[in-house]
Amino acid sequence: MRKQRTYKQYRQGKNKRRKLTGAATSLSSLASLAAAARAQEDETVKGLLRAVQHTQDPEIAQDAFEYLYALATEQVVEPDLFAPAIDAEEAQGEIELGIVKNSGCVFGLNRNELCQHTLVLGRSGSGKTTCIKTLLQGLIMLSDTFVPAPRIQVFDIKKDYIDLVNLYPNVWLFRLPGSDFRWNPLEPPIPNCQRWAAILAGVFANAAGFYGGMSTENLIYRYLLELYRKYDTGRKIYPCLFDLRDYLRWLDVYKKVDKRSEEYRWFVRIQNRVESLCEALGETVNCSHGYPLAEVLGHHTIFEMAELKQDAQSFFTETFLTQGVWHRMDRQERGGKLTTLGVFDEAKRLMPKYREEAQQAISNMSNILAFGREFGVGFLVGECDPALLSNSIKSSCYSQFCFSQTGGRDVADSARALGLDPEQATEIRRLAVGETIVRLADRIKRPFVLQVTP
């Protein structure tokens, strides 16, 4: 793709060029030129046209004509579906990611944008993880120069990110399962146990795939409350997941629930999930107090979970992130300043489309995204099957990156999420490895192609 000139570059070169005289400079002809140049939505062009309309100044009209004429000619000679070019000023950001293809400018994201969540889409091998790593490296290197210092929490299911530990000594690595890391999902990140029981019941029901009804969630909530009552939670002594498992076993033996009843079927489903989580997470969850949450959140951390069963990966990620957001909310750390960036490469596991459809309501994760935004917890999620991803995540991410895709359904879904026109959508199939279409909710109002720097 050629490098197109921005308006600033055009102004700088203008004096050297011969003037185009006698050309039509009426507003309608300028608007047609803007359309031919694919620049109707460009803010600079809109500003120029407004200036022509309000001032009626022939010199400004001439200037606008020459600029649009140059753009339209470039479009004919070598079409760029993402014209006009992005300005260096518009493109610059705190954490640099790569080069904008049609202007050669360096593009970066800012912390306040990361706080509003980032979605990285693309087929397998298209460059998602490389892009996420570039961003994480930038953030790690700059983190101590920022106030507050943001920290990354990576939930790594494919051992993609563990080499960051060798590159940066201040990055912690925990391997799950095992005794490397201690964590108690029943340890509330807020002072009110009852409140946490309700939140945890929702997370558990979601992560376990119990959608479409409150009955199982209410039942889990009841068991959690009953269990908490048996412990001196006022003195911060909490049951662990194994205690929940033992309590359910005890209920099964001593509580005479009719085995043919619906309640018993729900009970069995919950019990099976808890047994399965205990088995998968093992020593990690065998504790009343886990590693202090504030301390973990205060460091760059990678949780390597490649050996963990899939349901346990989702449960750990969703619960830990929920604990993190509630921890910040409890401390009233408001203001949208990035403190934590949660990274997960399989977004559909946390926010699957079918969960939203079955529940016909917004999921726990959608709430967590909304709270996170306000309390400085940003999410950076990757996904290779965008069509399987909930609509709420696609509509609530400030930044979306779309790498190459081949499946018709995924191309259409990504094009819709990024608001691409039909011609731009065809480009999704043509992107090379490491190239991505970027769409921001604000700052740069149109999509553009970025070459990610590995």
Ligand X SMILES: Nc1ncnc2c1ncn2[C@@H]1O[C@H](COP(=O)(O)OP(=O)(O)OP(=O)(O)O)[C@@H](O)[C@H]1O
Positions that interact with ligand X (CB under 6 A): 122, 124-130, 384, 433-434, 452, 454
Question: Which DSSP category does 352 fall into?
Answer: B
Note whether 344 and 389 are within 8 A (CB): no
Nearer to Mg ion, 188 or 382 (CB): 382
Binding at 452: pick from Mg ion, ligand X, none (beta carbon under 5-8 Å per type): ligand X
Output the smallest distance, CB 250 to ligand X, in A.
43
Nearer to ligand X, 128 or 439 (CB): 128
Tokens 């790593």 -> residue: 133
Binding at 122: pick from ligand X, Mg ion, none (beta carbon under 5-8 Å per type): ligand X
Nearer to ligand X, 128 or 328 (CB): 128
Q: State the residue number with the nearest CB to ligand X.
A: 434
Q: Quick one: tokens of 311?
A: 């349901």
Output the smallest distance, CB 345 to Mg ion, in A.
6
Q: Quick one: tokens of 147?
A: 């106030």
Output the smallest distance, CB 329 to ligand X, in A.
32
Count of other CB atoms within 10 angstroms of residue 47: 12
d(CA 158, CA 160): 5
d(CA 303, CA 294): 16
Nearer to Mg ion, 128 or 328 (CB): 128
Note whether 320 and 219 are within 8 A (CB): no
Amino acid at the residue 139: L
Nearer to ligand X, 393 or 452 (CB): 452
Name the residue among 41, 47, 48, 31 with its Cα closest to residue 83: 41
Whether the upstream peptide bond of residue 454 has omega within 30° of 0, thus cis, is no
Amino acid at the residue 160: D
Pairing mode, strands 340-344 and 377-383: parallel
Output the smallest distance, CB 129 to ligand X, in A.
3
Note whether 404 and 126 are within 8 A (CB): yes
Output the smallest distance, CB 96 to ligand X, in A.
13
What is the DSSP secondary-structure string of 66-89?
A: HHHHHHHHHHHHS--TTPSPPPHH
Find the binder of Mg ion among 32, 62, 129, 367 (CB under 5 A).
129
Q: Quick one: tokens of 173?
A: 């690595």
Note whether 45 and 83 are within 8 A (CB): no
Binding at 419: pick from Mg ion, ligand X, none (beta carbon under 5-8 Å per type): none
Output the smallest distance, CB 380 to ligand X, in A.
13
Assess 286 for contact with Mg ion (CB under 5 A): no
Nearer to Mg ion, 122 or 290 (CB): 122
Nearer to ligand X, 126 or 271 (CB): 126
Number of residues near Mg ion (by CB under 5 A): 2
Longest dimension (CA), the chain: 96
Binding at 454: pick from Mg ion, ligand X, none (beta carbon under 5-8 Å per type): ligand X
Name the residue among 81, 116, 138, 131 with its Cα closest to residue 442: 116
Binding at 328: pick from ligand X, Mg ion, none (beta carbon under 5-8 Å per type): none
Contacts of 189 (CB under 8 A, 6+ apart): 196, 293, 323, 324, 326, 327, 330
Output the smallest distance, CB 402 to ligand X, in A.
11
Nearer to Mg ion, 128 or 175 (CB): 128
Nearer to ligand X, 127 or 188 (CB): 127
Output the smallest distance, CB 117 to ligand X, in A.
19
Q: State the residue number with the nearest CB to Mg ion.
A: 129
Binding at 298: pick from Mg ion, ligand X, none (beta carbon under 5-8 Å per type): none
Q: Quick one: tokens of 344?
A: 């997960």
CA angle 325, 290, 152 (to 5 degrees): 45
Nearer to Mg ion, 128 or 300 (CB): 128
d(CA 24, CA 40): 18
Query: Would you give the binding string for Mg ion spanning residues 81-120, x where CB under 5 A is met?
Result: ----------------------------------------
Window contacting Mg ion (CB under 5 A); options: 38-46, 71-79, 129-137, 289-297: 129-137
Binding site for Mg ion (CB under 5 A): 128-129
